[in-house]
Structure 1
Amino acid sequence: MGTQPTIIAVLVGTLFAVSGTLATAPVQAAEPTSDLQSADPQTSDKQTSDPQIRVDETLTVIGRSENIPLNVAANVAIIDAAAIEQSGATTLTEVLRGQNGIQIADSNTGAIFAMRGFSAGQAANNTLILLDGRRLNNIDIAAPSINAIPLNQVERVEILSGSAGVLYGDQAVGGVINIITKAPEGSGGSMQLSGGSFSTYEGRGDLFGAINDKWRVYGAVSYNQGDNYRKHNANETTSILGRLQYRDEGDSFFVEGSYYDNHRELPGALSLDQFKDDPTQATTQVDSYMHEMTSAARLGIKHQLTQHWQLAADVNYSDTLTTGLNTWSSTRRDSRSLLELNPKAVGTFTTGSGELRLVTGLDLSRGESEFSSGRSNEQKQASAYVQATVPLTEELSYIVGGRYAKVEDELVDPQAYASGVELDQDAHGLELGINYRPSRSQRFYLRFDENFRFAKVDEQAYTSANVLGLDPQTGYSYEAGWDLTLASHTLRVSAYRLDLEDEIVFDASAASPAGGSFPGANVNADASRRYGVNLDWDWQLSQAVQLGLEYHYIDAEFTEGLNLGKALSWVAENSGRAYVSYDISDSLQLFAEGVYTGERFMEGDNANQDPKLQAYTLTNLALNYSHQNWLASLRVDNLLDEDYVSAGYYSAFGSGYYAGTGRNLRLSVSYRF
């Protein structure tokens, strides 16, 4: 967002703020820190002496250490608590749609977020999703469960557009989305009830308190049920979170547990004629459903070792069981678990030219998955990284870093690898960047990042008979950008190019594995190239009116092989978002936005055989009312009830379409105590 918020946004942000959460002021915005963050007194209280310039001093962990967005040589955006409340959004999908060029696919089971020109089938493996810095991406191709994070737990969302191969390694190819949860330090809580279209009902609550001046507790719970837009697509979803945290000067500690339960009916894919006739209909002939249950535990510690060095470590464990009945009458009982250890050291040194920052650490993980088909997999990853931000002058700094990663896969598949197979692979990344701030109001940056991703375990277990293990996907990202931040305007412009080799995709025309149960196989595809331009502008027109505009252009095509020059499927060349926020009074605010997604080829139509899917614009409207500790919000998504394809998969024998949600109204009432 980046500009001065409207009056109502300040009121809303203040209404839901507690000590340690977001505070918004007309000239300066300061963000809270998460469990492993602490404000830097040398940066968090800065103000510019020029009243015409507003410098966003928001702290961010996108660089795996506390920093300021304008000091990071990358395209970083932050959606803060005030912006979330201002939009009236009720889910993270609504918050992220259209932001920073994010394109969404949803096969009526949950959203997948694509950045920098990836198809829906690849997005879950090339966009890294973090929760307080913890990976939500799985070791198999299943997409992260974003629905497991209700908005009452979210403090802000950080978005890094572009690859982050050094900082985060595997899968951080198109971008990184880091969701920061609340870490309140006072005592209080909130309750929210909402209901709306498609028999949707939801209740949320959180409670927090101080045991003493160092120990605090936080808990949150949510329950949602609804029939959803399509028939036979009802869901029942529960989320529970509990956290105990300690903070004393430079030291902090937390332990956290969470549980997520989602039962959802599966309506099946539609043919084109069925989609045109009635996009709400279900096509499955059986009582198909999916039931996902995830338990997770986290532990983190941070210690200020010396004046210059800070040590930190996270231990994360998650366990998921998914049961269900597929649309083709096949039962499933799949399980996965992931254990991670992430120690790191952050060094900060003052030089005559500015602050030198060094971040180094290890990422260690061990994941297991078992499928009802008899397939079982184990994957171990170990990597080391280092990144340095070095000041040359007070205005100019450069960033340099590197990562080395190694992966070991143990795969068993009763059809493809009945006796099992072991694979060992490695990859590396390199980062170079320049950040130039000629004034406090603007900065220029140049950035190069070498990225990679390893094949997921179920991708490695389903390759053509003559292929024993897919090569790691590698890529090179180049980007240049300019940011301008004034009292009433913010403007961000960037241009990039992303080249990929050995891109890991599923090819329906490839030879199946020996004994394979369905056509096609996972392959290292022909080389591809993506380049694009991003424009993001926010304008505080008056104290009551705020405007915003985003435009994103992507040219994505194959650069080798049979599809040379063909457009990559499911990538809209043009997309954008525009919004307006208007304070009708001190208590009443109107928010309206339009999210545009341009024409694109159906997912998997790499030869560009069929006509493109039609472009569409979703018009969303919210009316927010605040009074003392109360907030009421009426939001309407897809106000014009436009029919659109939210996900689709190409086949020469008949493609499958999934309908996006029609007009959706939601009324929410919240109380903070």
Structure 2
Amino acid sequence: MGSKPTKISLSLATILGLSIWGAPVYAAPLNEPVANVDDTMTVIGRSDKSVLNIATNVAVLDASDIEASGATNLVQLLRGRSGIQVSDSNSGAVFAMRGFSGEQAGQNTLVLIDGRRLNNIDLAAPNLDAIALNQIERIEILSGSAGVLYGDQAVGGVINIITKSSEHAQAGLQVSAGSFDTTEYKGDISGAITEQWRYVAAANYKETDNFRYHNDSETGSVFGRLDYQSEQAHFYSEAGYFDNHRLLAGGLSQAEFSVNPRAAALTSSKDYQHEITTSVRSGYQQQATKNWLLGTDVSYTDSSTNTTNSGFAGDNQRSQLSITPKAVATFATAKGSLEIVSGIDYHLGESEFSWGRSNTQTQTAAYVQATVPLATNLSYVVGGRYAKAEDELVDGSAYPNGVELDQDAKAFELGLNYRPSASQRFYLRAEDNFRFAKVDEQAYTSAGVIGLKPQTGRSYEAGWDLMLASHVVKLSLYRLSLEDEIVFDPSAPKPNGGFFDGANVNADASRRYGASANWNWQLMPDLGFGLEYHYVDAEFTQGPNKGKALSWVAAHSGRSYLSYDISDAWQLYTEASYTGERYLGGDNANLEPELDSYVLGNLALNYRQDEWSASLRLDNLFDEEYASAGFYSAWGNSFYSGDGRSIRLTAGYRF
């Protein structure tokens, strides 16, 4: 889907030309803000913008939201927010947005840390434990496609995690302990070296037995960044190290799950996963003129994963180099601010498995997006991206002599943003999306299938936001259609030399209709209340499963919370998240009954006095038994247990 590059170029040139012709452009006065390419606002435009000025559905969780929740990890914090559905096979959670199954979630939701991709070149899910909550300043959640700005995998949504800056000199320590023999230690420090040079460093260590037996994990990470900031330039360089070792509990049969959801599978007694990841990233931004800001980011990630699963041992060495130069311009016009974001993305990924599979994938892309004022309260956004992926794939069974794949994809975007008042806006938006198949997917296809086609789609969305001092209301409707959706089909012919039945395929066309409603109400200065409801109707529209619901997608989900400031020092926070009925993952023909819906209730009691802080968090108050992941198979279904009731006490001191 999408448009040819020539059509994109002509459309942009024509639309921009007409808009600029109708609104004289002049250089921004010195007292006006200049363009800002600060990646701390990456999700909402790769430039610093107000949420109300973006023609899309964006939510921002700031430091106060994170602290009030009492959450100790990202899964606790984000579950149920902005329609996020969580899938966890007890080896690491993935987030699904806009109606994707658990096994697809990690490939259709893009996760970033300060704009750096966490998604891997293979099917391994982004490791959400790689960043501790004490290092996070805020989280930006874009619900819906973002194919123009982010390209590959930005299909259901984008989650950008913003780490704390070195702006203020401070330090902190946190100690935490709780259920399942959990202990965690966190520390961070930041300060100034000179007037322009600053630094920030953080470390985290956690060990826990987790809810299930034979699921112990030990995690450690360190992070450091050096910043140089002047009026015209910004330079930064950062490095991180992450080490995670976890025993794997395996999947349970339905009978085993019903008897004891904490049990480990009999075949998993020697199963484990050990991942070590190092990352470096550097960037430079320069105010070239009053209107133009230029920047370049370079990042490199190297990861080693050693695994034994169901008696099968192996390791995977992967690396990814990304170079992303960009330019952002702001021109003041009689009708408002004209903003242009453009850039080139280059990603070189390598993945090598010990059992004879390797892949080198090169992705190159160019994009441009413009926000054009039509009137002081009306603007539109238009943009395009062209991307190309080249794979050099070797697999001992499927492609012993190697195969080269050369594919491309395009995306086009058009949106309208109308602000009748300072506190509200209406928006309409259409955008293409795409993703290229992962190395694991390309290597495990049915005999005779050489290379999966890129998955393509188009999203339509409309919404209304109202932001008042005491009320925030957000309503949105969307339609997401996909072609050549990349999925694993357990009924497909086994690949040559395949170890198990089924194969990765380009599935029949599918579509998702959805709606969301968010309401936050500050009843009194010390009492806040909020509700979220999300609906998605996801089904196949072609093929033998036409009219069948997509698996592991709950049609109904929601969340509510209540926050009460008991005193200046004490705060009570309670929330409940609801996940509706859904079919087991892979049950595309809807042969099995749907799993029951469930509600998870959480409670946090927070204390802050001067430099001291403490939090008592209770998760799954009602000790609900539920499957956090489940997979259909003609040979027997498998279930992975969600966490039972737990308690966590955290104490901290800031210097």
TM-score bracket, shorter-length normalisation:
over 0.9
Partner of 1:528: 510
Amino acid at match of 2:194: N
* Aligned residue among 422, 425, 429 for 2:404: 422
State yes or no: 1:372 paired with 2:354: yes
- Partner of 2:103, secondary structure, is helix
Matches of 2:500 and 2:88 in 1, distance apart?
Answer: 23
Residue in structure 2 matched with residue 298 of structure 1 by the alignment:
281
Structure 2 counterpart of 1:287: 270
1:338 matched to 2:346? The reply is no
CA–CA distance in structure 2, aligned partners of residues 224 and 514 of structure 1 = 42
In structure 2, the partner of 1:256 is 238
1:90 aligns with 2:72: yes
Paired residue for 2:605, among 623, 626, 648? Answer: 623
Distance in 2 (CA, whole Å) between partners of 1:76 and 1:293 is: 33
1:28-427 map, 5 Å:
61-285=43-267, 286-326=269-309, 328-427=310-409
Give 1:134 deviation, angstroms. 0.8
Q: SS of the residue aligned with 1:86?
A: helix
Alignment check: 8 A CA contact 2:41 2:47 kept: no
8 Å contact 1:349–1:357 — kept in the other structure? yes
Alpha-carbon deviations, 1:479-501, whole Å to 9, x = none? 00000011100000000000000
Alignment-mate amino acid for residue 176 of structure 2: S
Which whole-Å CA distance do the structure 2 matches of 1:154 and 1:62 have between them?
18
Tell me the distance in 2 between the aligned counterparts of 1:425 and 1:359: 25
Secondary structure, aligned partner of 1:152: helix
Note closer, same or farther for the CA distance 1:509–1:41 as it changes in structure 2 (3 Å cut): farther
In structure 2, C-alpha distance between the alignment counterparts of 1:644 and 1:41, rounded to whole Å? 57
Which ranges in structure 1 are unaligned for 5 or more consecutive residues?
1-39, 45-57
Residue 121 of structure 1 aligns to a residue whose secondary structure is helix
For residue 236 of structure 2, what is the amino acid of its counterpart?
A: F
The question of whether the paired residues in 2 share the 8 Å contact of 1:60 and 1:68 is answered with no
CA distance in structure 1 between the aligned counterparts of 2:32 and 2:77, rounded to whole angstroms? 32
Q: Is the 8 A contact 1:347 1:359 kept in 2?
A: yes
Q: Hey, what's the Cα distance between the residues in 2 that align with 1:322 and 1:62? A: 33
| Structure 2 equivalent of residue 460 of structure 1 | 442
* Distance in 2 between residues matched to 1:83 and 1:187, nearest whole Å: 22
Contact 2:43-2:141 at 8 Å conserved across structures: no
Q: Percent identity?
A: 61
Residue identity in the other structure for 2:298: V
Write the deviation string for residues 536-586 of structure 1: whole angstroms up to 9, x where unpaired. Answer: 110000011000000000000000000000000000000000000011111
Q: Is the contact made by 1:59 and 1:69 (CA closer than 8 Å) also made in structure 2?
A: no
SS at match of 1:147: helix
3-state DSSP of counterpart to 1:643: coil
Contact 1:303 1:311 in 2 (8 A): yes
Deviation of 1:186 after TM superposition, in Å, equals 2.2
* Alpha-carbon shift at residue 284 of structure 1 (Å): 3.6
Which residue number corresponds to residue 31 of structure 1?
none
Which amino acid in the other structure matches residue 398 of structure 1? Y
Q: How many angstroms does 1:462 deviate by? A: 1.3
The answer (yes or no) to whether the contact 1:293–1:320 under 8 Å persists in 2 is yes
Q: After the TM superposition, which parts of structure 1 deviate over 6 Å for at least 4 consecutive aligned residues?
A: none
Deviation at 1:262, TM superposition (A): 0.2
- CA offsets 1:323-350 (integer angstroms, 9 cap, x no match): 1211x21111111000000000001000
Per-residue CA distance 1:218-239 (angstroms, 9 max, x = gap) = 1000000010000000000001
1:642 pairs with 2:624: yes
Matches of 1:659 and 1:330 in 2, distance apart?
Answer: 22
C-alpha separation in 2, matches of 1:464 and 1:288: 28
SS at match of 1:411: strand
Deviation digits for residues 448-468 of structure 1 (CA, Å, limit 9, x no counterpart): 001111111121111111211
Aligned residues of 2:43 and 2:142 also touching (Cα < 8 A) = no
Give the structure 2 partner of residue 10 of structure 1: none
Contact map agreement 2:42 2:114 (CA 8 A) in 1:
no
Q: 288-297 vs 515-524, which deviates more? A: 515-524
Contact in 2 for aligned 1:546/1:582 (Cα 8 Å): yes
Are 1:603 and 2:585 counterparts? Answer: yes
Match of 1:614 in 2: 596
Asked if 1 retains the 8 angstrom alpha-carbon contact of 2:191 and 2:198, the reply is: yes
| Structure-1 separation of matches of 2:43 and 2:553 | 29
Distance in 2, Cα, partners of 1:180 & 1:59: 8
1:59 positional shift: 5.8
Aligned to 1:548: 530
Distance 1:89 1:41, change over 3 A: farther
Query: Contact 2:519/2:532 (CA < 8 Å) preserved in 1?
Result: yes
Indicate whether 1:561 and 2:537 are aligned. Answer: no
| Structure 1 Cα separation of the partners of residues 498 and 92 of structure 2 | 28
**How many pairs align?**
620
- Residues 416, 135 of structure 1: CA spacing in aligned structure 2 closer, same or farther, 3 A cutoff? same
- Secondary structure (helix, strand or coil) at the match of 1:93 reads helix
Following the alignment from structure 1 to structure 2, what is the Cα–Cα distance between the partners of residues 141 and 287?
A: 22
The 1:43–1:610 alpha-carbon spacing in structure 2 relative to 1, beyond 3 Å, is farther
- Aligned partner letter, 1:127: T
Q: Deviations over 1:301-330 (max 9, x none)?
A: 11000000000111010000001211x211
Alpha-carbon shift at residue 42 of structure 1 (Å)? 5.4
**Contact 1:499 1:528 survives alignment (8 Å):** yes
Specify every segment of 5 or more residues in structure 2 that has no aligned partner in the other structure, as ranges.
1-29, 35-39
CA distance in 2 between counterparts of 1:521 and 1:343 reads 38
Q: Offset at 1:62?
A: 2.6
- 1:473-484 correspondence to structure 2 within 5 Å: 473-484=455-466
Aligned-pair CA distance for 1:397: 0.2
Question: TM-score under structure 2 normalisation?
Answer: 0.94
**Which whole-Å CA distance do the structure 1 matches of 2:639 and 2:82 have between them?**
26
Map Cα deviations across residues 76-98 of structure 1 (whole Å, 9 max, x no partner). 00011000000100101111100
**Distance in 1, Cα, partners of 2:450 & 2:263:** 42
* Corresponding residue number in structure 2 for 1:502: 484
Counterpart of 1:279, as a letter, is P
Which position in structure 2 is the counterpart of 1:12?
A: none
For each residue in 1:217-267, what CA deviation from the matched residue of structure 2 results, as whole angstroms up to 9, or x when unmatched?
Answer: 110000000100000000000010011111001310100010000000001
The 1:394–1:271 alpha-carbon spacing in structure 2 relative to 1, beyond 3 Å, is same
Distance in 2 of aligned mates of 1:366 and 1:59: 25
